[in-house]
Amino acid sequence: MKKLFDEVNSLDKRCYEEFALSEDILMEHAASSMASYIQENYKDKKSILIVCGSGNNGADGIALARLLFKAYDISLYFYSKAKSQMSQLQLNRVNKLGVNITDSLYEADIIVDCIFGSGLNKPLKTDAIELIEKLNDLNSIKIACDIPSGINKKGQVLSIAFESDITITMGALKTSLFTDVAKEYVGDIKVANLGLQREVYETQTNKYLLEKEDMILPLRTKKHNSHKGTFGHLNVIAGCKKGAGVIAAKAAFGFGAGLVSVVCHEELDLPYHIMQTHFLSENCTAIAIGMGLGKYDKKEIEDILSKDVPMIIDADLFYEELILDVLHKDIILTPHPKEFCALLKLCNIADISIIELQDNRFYYASLFTNKYPNVTLVLKGANVIISKANQVFVNSFGSSVLSKGGSGDVLSGLIASLLAQGYKSIDAAISASLAHTLAAKAYKKNDYSLIPSDLVEEVKKL
């Protein structure tokens, strides 16, 4: 996993104070990193238009123009006059070289956005909105310097943002690049070296970006002397919408649980390898509850929730006060945004809209898990946030392929399967979430056609 930071100004300041690296040196390395990326990946391109603002993001762009001068047909376009000390210094340098400064936008092979950067802290003016609209309409390769212009330091888009193919961010990864709304604009994300290896530049953090290597599959290569009970017995509670529980059970069995039983008072048509029971099994090692629950017998659900067994709770229970009785336990919750808003209200943490939540996902996820430090929260979205106590992990592999009914039930089954097999709650949430998104990413048919069984089949191939 890679470190994430809410801000990097303190990291830059540390470079100045502890390592005697000046702002000019850091900027030179930032521009050099961008130049190297362009030269390595776009050797066949000829023209580059660099669009600059008045601050240090613009200064990065001006320095980039100097480094690529003569290697490409370079033009600088200024949204506003250079104002910061560094932008004026860089402008003086390119003027001495004779770099072209243009008053008009055109469809260059590559457009580099250096207008605002991560310091944006106020709504865009009308002329800025119009500029970004024009840039987005151009059929060019689009690269954002640090962060696409229009995305503020919280990762919010207040009106419009530059639609980049590549974002080259400075020094370290920022949480603002991994909000759900930012995902529409950032493209592929690269980190520019600022004159120090990241291990030196970066400090401690409580936020991390997950990588494929963080997924620990329940492989059985070292467990020869075993039987089905060795790998746990999951009980899935089926409710009114029984299909949700059946989907979760199938996913759990395909992800390694030795035994899976669906708890339901009505007879179900289940695959032969999945059992049905009317009550919790005595040897149950994990419980999955909430998916498609609908109307329920309060006493029965209270009894299930009172069990001292690893548990994942999903869907309908996030609207019920019953859940308040188990938030002191080491459990996993997997809400989507609407459900999480309901849960926040039940817990007297916040009464907010889905829009407010989506604009501040990291904030509210942390607020919840700080209040309930034993709970592992899996907040679904384009970028999944997994949080426990003061630790936050981001799974950025999600895609619209998963925007189908039943996908969440598969995730519940995957997590529950790992819980049944003895994984710790945070490890189960991380590995199952990664398996879920990476399986969808591996799906080869049309991206609108995924059904839950397809997802389970892809999970088996990981």
Q: What is the domain count for the chain?
A: 2
User: Could you give the CA distance from residue 422 to residue 418 in angstroms, rounded to a whole number?
Assistant: 6
> Domain boundary at 155, 180, 205, which?
205
Instruction: Find out whether 122 is annotated in a ligand binding site.
Output: yes
* Residues 92, 218 share a domain: no
- Kind plus residue range of the DSSP H or E element containing 153: none
| Bridge partners of residue 183, in order along the sequence | none
Here the tokens at position 388 are 């426990």
53 annotated to a ligand binding site: no
CA–CA dist 33, 379 (Å, integer): 34
Same domain for 404 and 428: yes
Mind listing the pLDDT tens digit of every residue in the chain (462 residues)?
999 999 999 999 999 999 999 999 999 999 999 999 999 999 999 999 999 999 999 999 999 999 999 999 999 999 999 999 999 999 999 999 999 999 999 999 999 999 998 878 888 999 999 999 999 999 999 999 999 999 999 999 989 999 999 999 999 999 999 999 999 999 999 999 999 999 999 999 999 999 999 999 999 887 788 888 889 999 999 989 999 999 999 999 999 999 999 999 999 999 999 999 999 999 999 999 999 998 888 999 999 999 999 999 999 999 999 999 999 999 999 999 999 999 999 999 999 999 999 999 999 999 999 999 999 999 999 999 999 999 999 999 999 999 999 999 999 999 999 999 999 999 999 999 999 999 999 999 999 999 999 999 999 999
Structure tokens at 340: 């999480």
Q: What is the model's pLDDT at position 146?
A: 97
Residue 20 in marked binding region: no
pLDDT of residue 221: 80
Same domain membership, residue 200 and residue 290: no
The verdict on whether residue 60 carries a ligand-binding annotation is yes
290 in a known ligand binding site? no
b/e 103-118 (16+ beta carbons within 10 angstroms → b): eebeebebbbbbbbbb
Query: Does 119 belong to an annotated binding site?
Result: yes
* Tens digit of each residue's pLDDT (9 = 90 or more) over 333-373: 999 999 999 999 999 999 999 999 999 999 999 999 999 99
Can you give the pTM of this predicted structure? 0.95
92 is in an annotated binding site: no
Do 271 and 384 share a structural domain?
Answer: yes
Q: In CATH, what number is assigned to the domain containing residue 114?
A: 3.40.50.10260
Residues 188 and 270 in one domain: no
Flag whether 453 is marked binding. Answer: no
* Residues in the chain, overall count: 462
- Determine contact, residues 77/83, Cβ cutoff 8 Å: no
Same domain, 182 and 283: no
Q: Name the packing angle between helices 23-41 and 9-19 (round to 10°).
A: 120
- Return the pLDDT at 421: 97
Which is nearest to 433 in space by CA: 409, 407, 414?
414
Q: Is residue 427 a known part of a binding site?
A: no
Q: What are phi and psi of 277, to 5 degrees?
A: -140, 155
Same domain, 242 and 268: yes
Task: Tell whether 398 is in a known binding site.
Answer: no
- Which structural domain range is residue 407 located in? 213-460
- Is 149 annotated as belonging to a binding site? yes
Out of 175, 205, 235, a domain closes at 205
SS3 263: strand
What pLDDT, on the 0 to 100 scale, is given for residue 295?
Answer: 83
Residue 188 annotated as binding?
no
Question: Is residue 409 a known part of a binding site?
Answer: yes
Give the count of beta carbons closer than 10 Å to the beta carbon of residue 411.
27
Q: Is 336 annotated as a binding residue?
A: yes
Residue 146, annotated as binding a ligand: yes
Predicted local distance difference test score (pLDDT) of residue 139: 97
Predicted local confidence at residue 117, as pLDDT: 85
The answer to whether the annotation marks 454 as part of a ligand binding site is no
H-run or E-run covering 25: helix 23-41
Distance between CA 150 and CA 392 in Å, rounded?
A: 25
The response to whether 128 counts as a known ligand-binding position is: no
What is the spatial distance between Cα 54 and Cα 222, in angstroms, rounded to a whole number? 60
Q: How many angstroms separate the CA atoms of 382 and 178, rounded? A: 9
Buried b (16+ CB within 10 A) or exposed e, 157-179: beebbbbbebbbbbbbbbbbbbb
CATH number for position 227: 3.40.1190.20
CA distance 240 to 295: 7
Q: Do 172 and 271 fall into the same domain? A: no
Query: Does 63 lie in the same domain as 97?
Result: yes
244 known ligand binder: yes
Kindly state the tokens that stand for 11. Answer: 């990291």
Q: What is the pLDDT of residue 268?
A: 92
User: For residue 369, which of 390, 354, 352 has the smallest C-alpha distance?
Assistant: 390
Same domain, 81 and 135: yes
Closest CA to 206 of 5, 350, 428: 5
- Name the amino acid, one letter, at 142: K
Q: Calculate ∠ Cα 24-28-32, nearest 5°.
A: 175
Last residue of a domain, one of 151, 181, 205: 205
Question: In terms of domains, do 136 and 221 share one?
Answer: no
DSSP 457: H
Which residues are within 8 A (CB) of 426 and not within 5 positions of it... i.e. 6 or more apart?
Answer: 376, 386, 388, 391
Token pair 């995730």 is at which residue?
411
For residue 277, what pLDDT is reported? 94
Residues 227 and 157 in one domain: no
